[in-house]
Amino acid sequence: MYSWIQPEKSLYYQAHLIKDLFGDWTLVSSWGVIDSRRGRVRKTGVPSYQAGLERINAIDKRRRLHGYRLVQGKPMQ
């Protein structure tokens, strides 16, 4: 799982790849306000594990542009 936070606005974003019961890869993304019950979740099917990692890399770049920092997961290159 990868987790980013934006400390100034108390926001979080999480993304992780899971394999469903049929063996397909799914990217699950969730975001919202830290310490709040409100938030959103999006599930997106990806064709392979590598394609999912590429999407997580794109998410990492976008999050960093918006002031988030990675708090869990491997740093992206």
Structure tokens at 19: 């394999």
Q: Residue 68: beta bridge partners?
A: none
- pLDDT of 76 > 90? The answer is no
Please indicate, yes or no, if residue 26 is contained in any of the structural domains: yes
Please indicate, yes or no, if residue 48 is contained in any of the structural domains: yes
Please indicate, yes or no, if residue 29 is contained in any of the structural domains: yes
Torsion over CA of 39, 28, 42 and 54, rounded to 10 degrees?
120
Please indicate, yes or no, if residue 68 is contained in any of the structural domains: yes
Cβ contacts of residue 8 below 8 Å, gap of 6+? Answer: 67
Residue 63's domain comprises 2-72
- pLDDT of 77 > 90? The answer is no
What is the tally of structural domains in the chain? 1
Please indicate, yes or no, if residue 77 is contained in any of the structural domains: no
The pLDDT tens digits of the residues spanning 6-35 come to 999 999 999 999 999 999 999 999 999 998
pLDDT at 73: 75
- Global pTM value: 0.86
Please indicate, yes or no, if residue 6 is contained in any of the structural domains: yes
